Amino acid sequence: SAAMSACSKAAHWQAALVLLTSMRELRLQQDVISFNAAISACEKAGQWQHALQLLGQMPAAVLMPDLLSYNTTISSCRHCEGWAWAVELLREVCEVRMVPDVITFNATLGDLDAGEC
């Protein structure tokens, strides 16, 4: 988890993905924290498609994304093509009965503004 956190802080998204895959292959416990760190690394590197993929993989790993998972993924969608995904993720947050917070709304609004390119 420390290695994953370091990848997140440095925006080393490829290393974060390798670590997450290695954890599964070595039968080490993947958890919400490790996925969130990988999503964060992707977000910081502008890799919004990979962040979306990771969020989508969490249920297959028998993990329930938390609000941080959604907020970070929504934040990663601040590119021309990503705004629609941000809106969809906000809808999903409400659908799974999570309570969106100010970060959720600000990230979504920022994505909508960035989508006007």
Q: What is the per-residue pLDDT for 82?
A: 80
20-70 residue pLDDT tens: 999 989 989 899 999 999 999 999 999 999 999 999 999 999 999 999 999
8 Å CB contact between 44 and 11: yes
Cα distance between residue 3 and residue 17, in whole Å: 12
Higher pLDDT, 87 or 2: 87
The average confidence (pLDDT) of the chain is 89
* 3-state class (DSSP) for residue 115: coil
pTM (2 decimals)?
0.89
> Which of 110, 31, 98, 29 shows the shortest CA–CA distance to 70?
98
Asked whether residue 115 carries a pLDDT value surpassing 70, the answer given is: no
Helix (H) or strand (E) holding 81: none
Residue 31's pLDDT is 94
